[in-house]
Every structure is written in structure tokens, then in C-alpha cells.
């Protein structure tokens, strides 16, 4: 979607882009709101007592 918008703007105003046609940035592999301090695997957690 964003690539379509950038391509449209480039077609309308190529003089604004002196180096090359714009490209959207790559998406990150992971996005966190509150990243855990330590990522543990399931085998490292303490089992529930009961």
C-alpha cells in the first residue's frame, strides 16, 4: 500500500526525488510494545505447584 502511494507521488513529482525513486523501509522482524527483559524458552520456566 505504501509503495503504491510512493510510486504515485514519484510519477506526479519526479523532480522532488533527485537521487532515485522512493522505496518504503523494510518491516522489522519483531515489534514490541513492552519488550521482555529476558526471553525465556518454555523449558526454562518454573512449573506451577499444585
Tell me if 15 is assigned to some domain: yes
Structural domain including 13 reads 1-25
Tell me if 14 is assigned to some domain: yes
Output the CA–CA distances (angstroms, integers) from residue 11 to 3, 6, 18, 24, 33, in the order listed. 12, 9, 13, 15, 36
Tell me if 6 is assigned to some domain: yes
Tell me the per-residue pLDDT of 3-48, one tens digit each, with 9 for 90 and over: 999 999 999 999 999 999 999 999 888 888 988 887 666 666 666 6
Tell me if 43 is assigned to some domain: no
Entry pTM: 0.54
Amino acid at each position: 500500500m505504501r509503495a503504491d502511494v510512493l510510486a504515485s507521488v514519484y510519477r506526479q513529482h519526479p523532480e522532488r526525488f533527485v537521487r532515485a525513486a522512493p522505496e518504503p523501509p523494510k518491516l522489522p522482524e519483531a515489534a514490541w510494545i513492552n519488550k521482555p527483559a529476558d526471553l525465556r524458552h518454555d523449558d526454562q520456566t518454573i512449573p506451577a505447584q499444585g
